[in-house]
Amino acid sequence: MPFTILKKQELVPTVHQMDIAAPRVAEKAMPGQFVILRIDECGERIPLTIADFDAADGTVTLIFQEIGKTTRQLASLGAGDSIADLAGPLGCASTIEKFGTVVCVGGGVGIAPIFPIARGLMKAGNKVISIIGARSADILFWEERMKEASSELHVTTDDGTKGHHGFVTDIVQNVIESGEQVDRVIAIGPPVMMRAVAGVTKPFGIKTVVSLNPIMVDGTGMCGACRVLVGGVTKFACVDGPEFDAHEVDFTLLMSRLTMYLPEEKEALDYKVAEEPAV
């Protein structure tokens, strides 16, 4: 049974939002969980963290950036089109309870999955200080949504075109040093960003959680492609995670495993381009 795309929107260049009809997934989805999708019979299975869900409408919202063959193909689809498979919600949900003050950090496309977590934490009665960052103002999205889901919102851009000129870690540092009693930090974004946030919070002993995005195939604990090292122990991100204690994660291993198929990713993209009719 295919899954129909109800709405599709290019939020910023190469970053797309897609609302997909998946009532059974939407009914069970929780912040922090992900889905595995496959576009068609020839497609690969890729994990995408759930950016939003609406049980009443039966929809799941996904946000993705065009990087490789699959995400480019996905971006070419629009409302009314459908994808072959969508399995989920997978992985463990984010721990949402009243911690006190929680800093939520979203970098790049990581702003999408941090949103439902921030909203959940707000609902649970926390003071939520959100920090979202991007390379540049023109690729920053969901600022309004994040504002609504947070007690206060900070924006950073690497090039200074919006908000603080610099990195999200600068603000994390500032917030902690301002004397704010931070009880928990949750950071989602590129591995380098998550590693940097972990580096900032570690000296202060603040519990910090990151959501890892290794390569996956089945997403149900069957293949072990998503092996990550946490506290010296091998874990499967798909079933044991995707959230882990940032201070225990071996980010070097994570980053090296993410490069495993770079040559093949390029080959797949070249093949797709060659197959496309010349314009």
Name the minimum Å distance from CB 159 to another protein: 31
Q: Which is nearer to another protein, 79 or 273 (CB)?
A: 273
If one asks whether residue 225 binds another protein (CB under 8 A), the answer comes out as yes
If one asks whether residue 69 binds another protein (CB under 8 A), the answer comes out as yes
- Fill in the per-residue mask, 89 to 128: x = in contact with another protein (CB under 8 A), - = not in contact: xx--------------------------------------
Phi, psi at 111, each rounded to 5°: -65, -35
If one asks whether residue 84 binds another protein (CB under 8 A), the answer comes out as yes
Q: Single out the residue of 109, 78, 111 nearest to residue 13, CA to CA.
A: 109
Of positions 24, 123, 165, 202, contacts another protein by CB under 8 A: 24
Stretch that binds another protein, among 20-28, 59-67, 141-149, 183-191 (CB under 8 A): 20-28
Phi, psi at 224, each rounded to 5°: 80, 10
- Within 247-276, which residues bind another protein (CB under 8 A)? 253, 256-257, 259-261, 264-265, 267-268, 271-272
- For residues 194 and 236, give the distance between their C-alpha atoms in angstroms, rounded to a whole number: 18
- For residues 189 and 195, give the distance between their C-alpha atoms in angstroms, rounded to a whole number: 10
If one asks whether residue 227 binds another protein (CB under 8 A), the answer comes out as yes
Chain centroid to Cα 44, Å, comes to 19
If one asks whether residue 60 binds another protein (CB under 8 A), the answer comes out as no
Q: Which is nearer to another protein, 44 or 183 (CB)?
A: 44
191-201 and 251-258 helices, crossing angle to 10°: 180
Of positions 137, 161, 239, 248, contacts another protein by CB under 8 A: 239
- For residues 152 and 114, give the distance between their C-alpha atoms in angstroms, rounded to a whole number: 14
If one asks whether residue 234 binds another protein (CB under 8 A), the answer comes out as yes
Q: Which two tokens stand for residue 162?
A: 């919006």
3-class secondary structure, 125:
coil
If one asks whether residue 76 binds another protein (CB under 8 A), the answer comes out as no
- Within 27-46, which residues bind another protein (CB under 8 A)? 28, 38, 42-45
Q: Which two tokens stand for residue 129?
A: 């200080």
Q: Which is nearer to another protein, 122 or 243 (CB)?
A: 243
**In this structure, how many other beta carbons lie within 10 angstroms of the beta carbon of residue 183?**
15
Angle at 150 between CA 147 and CA 156, to 5 degrees: 60
Identity at 231, one-letter amino acid code? G
If one asks whether residue 88 binds another protein (CB under 8 A), the answer comes out as yes
Cis peptide before 242 (omega within 30 of 0): yes
- Within 205-224, which residues bind another protein (CB under 8 A)? 217-218, 220-224
Q: Which two tokens stand for residue 130?
A: 């959100």
Cis peptide before 277 (omega within 30 of 0): no
| Interface residue list for another protein (CB under 8 A) | 1, 24-25, 28, 38, 42-45, 69-70, 84-90, 217-218, 220-225, 227, 229, 234, 239, 253, 256-257, 259-261, 264-265, 267-268, 271-272
